[in-house]
Structure 1
Amino acid sequence: VYKQLEKPISVRKIWVEPVYETIRRDFGENFNAVVKLIMGTNPEILTEGLANNSVIRLGDYLIKPEHVKISERIVEEKGKRFIPHVIEPSFGLERVFYAVLEYAYTEYEGRAILKLPIAVAPIQIAVYPLVTKDGIPEKALEVYKRLLNSGFDVYYDDSGSIGRRYVRSDEMGIPLALTLDYQTLQDDTVTLRNRDNWRQVRTSINGIEDKLRSFFAGKIPFEALGEPV
C-alpha cells in the first residue's frame, strides 16, 4: 500500500548505476541480461557483496566493483509503501478476486485484454525499448528506474517484437505502455499506449511523473498525457 505523507521528507538512499562500458566489455552479448540483473537487485545487497573489492554472483554472472557505480543520495519522499495487517473475512477473497477477473476480461479485435481498473492493476506501467541497440535499452532502463523511484509499479521487457510485448502487457492488465525509440534519443519524448483502446500519444519524459500521477488518480484522461500519434 502506498500512503502519501503530509510533508515530503528527505532520506538517504544507496544509488546503484551500471557501468555500461565495462559491462559491455566483459559480458559482450550478455550485456542486457547483466544490466537487468544489476538493476533488479537490492542496492544494499550489491553494496554489501561488493565491499572490500570482492565479487558477487548474480544469476550466472560474477559482478565486480568496476561493473557498478555505488553512491549515496538524498532523495525526497512524498509517500511510503507498507504491508498492512490483513483481515481474513469469512466470505473469502477468492470469489472477489475471481469476480474482478471475470469482469475485467474482454476481447478487442480478437485479442485478449485484462481491463483491470487502474486503481487495482498490480502493475501500472510497462517500459519498452523499441530495439535492443544504439543506446535505447540504456535510456529505457534509466526511465524505468526513475519511475520506480517515484513510487510507480513498473514492468520492464525487451524480449521479442514490440507487438508481442504489447500483447503480453494487455493480457497482464497493465494500463499504460511507455516505449522509447530513436526519436527519444533526439528530443527526450516517448510514446504512451493505452491498454483499453490502443490509442497512443507522444509526450516528454521531463516531468512525466506528475502527469502519470494525475492520470492514475483519475484527474486527467489518457488524451491529456500528450499529443496524439
Structure 2
Amino acid sequence: SIGVDIERFRFRQHQNDELSHYASGCWDAESKVDEKWIEITGFAYRGCYDLKKHQEHSEEDYTVFKEYDEPVKEEVTEVSPDMGYLGPEYGDEAGKIVDRIQEKAETDPEAFEETDIEVEVNGQKYSIPEDKYNFEKKTVTRNGEHILPHIVEPSFGIDRIVYTVLAHSYGEDEVDSEKRKVLHLSEEVAPTEVAVFPMMDKDGMGQKAEEVAERLRDAGFSVKYDDTGNIGKRYRRQDEVGTPYCITIDYETLEDKPETVTIRDRDSTEQERVEISGLEEEISSRL
C-alpha cells in the first residue's frame, strides 16, 4: 500500500446520464479528502466504438481472428437471391432488399418455409417470390471467429494520487505533552527512509554520525543527516516530512563495545538500541 486509507476510498459506477457517447460503462476510483469525494482514476469501457468508427470510415478490416480451443459445429442459414430478377425489378433498392433478406434468414429462418418472403425497406414492404431466391440450412465447422477488439481506457492523474496520499497520511497527536504533526507515509513512498543525528555535535558524536549516514547511503538507503537544533526538534522535523526511522548517535555509542545506536520509530516514537554492525539488516527488516 502507498498510504491510501481504504475507509476513504471507493469505486463508483457512472449512471447512464453521466456516460460519454463512446462509453458503454465507466467506473471511477475516488478518495475522500476534506470530507469531499474526488476522482483519482477513471476506467471507461469504450466497447468497440473506436475501431468500429475507424473501420467504417477507412474501409479497412480491424477485426482479429480468435481461434477456438476446439472446432465448433453449428447450423447456419444461407440465402442466395436472384439478382437477375431483383436488380431490374427494384433498381436502387435491390441491394437493401438483399440485406433485409439475409438478416431475415439469420433471425427468422422459419419464415422461409412460406411461399413468398416479405421484407421492409424505408417503410416500403416488398414481397419476394419463392422462386427468386435459394434458401438452404446446413451444418458448418468453425475453428474460430473474427471479432472487433474492445477497449478499456484507464485515466490516471498523478497529482490527485499524491494529494490523496499526503492527506490520508497526515495526522496530529501529542508526544511528551506537546502537540505533534506527523506524516504517516508508507515506507514505499517516503522521500527519506532514515535520518541520522548526533545527540550533540561534539566529543566525536558528529563524526561517528556522519560515518553511519555514509554507511547507510552506500547500502542503498535514502538518508538525511541533521545536526541542527536540539534532538527533540530534529525528531519533529522528520515526523512532519514522514521519515519512518531516526537513528541517534550518543555517548553510549562511543562507550559500548560493540558500538550501538538508537532507532526511533516515527509512528510509535519508541526507541530501541541496536548494534551498528547489524544496522543495515535491522533497517531493511523494518522497511
Match of 1:213 in 2: 284
Which structure has the greater CA radius of gyration? 2
For residues 119-144 of structure 1, the C-alpha deviation after alignment (integer angstroms, 9 at most, x for no partner) is 21111000000001111100000000
Q: Quick check: 1:191 aligned with 2:256? A: no
Q: Unaligned stretches of 5+ in structure 2?
A: 1-153
Q: Check if 1:132 corresponds to 2:201.
A: yes
1:165 is matched with 234
- Aligned residue for 1:151, secondary structure, equals coil
How many residue pairs match? The answer is 128
Query: 1:127 & 1:195 partners in 2: Cα distance?
Result: 13
TM-aligned CA deviation for residue 214 of structure 1: 1.5
Q: Describe the SS at the equivalent of 1:159.
A: coil
Query: Which among 152, 164, 180 is matched to residue 99 of structure 1?
Result: 164
Cα separation, 2, equivalents of 1:213 and 1:201: 15
- Secondary structure (helix, strand or coil) at the match of 1:183 reads helix
> Residue in 1 aligned with 2:185?
116
SS in structure 1 of the partner of residue 277 of structure 2:
coil
**Letter paired with 1:164:** K
TM-score in terms of structure 2 length: 0.44
In structure 2, give the amino acid aligned to 1:204: E
Provide TM-score, normalisation by structure 1.
Answer: 0.55
Distance 2:188 2:157 in 1: 21
CA distances 1:46-66 after superposition (whole Å, capped 9, x unpaired): xxxxxxxxxxxxxxxxxxxxx
| Cα distance in 1 for residues equivalent to 2:268 and 2:286 | 16
Taking the aligned partners of 1:172 and 1:129, their CA distance within structure 2 comes to 19
Q: Which has the larger strand fraction?
A: 2
Q: Say whether 1:150 aligns with 2:219.
A: yes
Q: CA deviation at 1:91?
A: 3.1
SS at match of 2:156: coil
- Percent sequence identity over matched residues? 49
Give the Cα separation in 2 of the matches to 1:206 and 1:114.
30
Whichever residue aligns with residue 278 of structure 2, its letter is: G
| In 2, Cα distance between equivalents of 1:152 and 1:91 | 29
Query: Aligned letter for 2:264?
Result: R
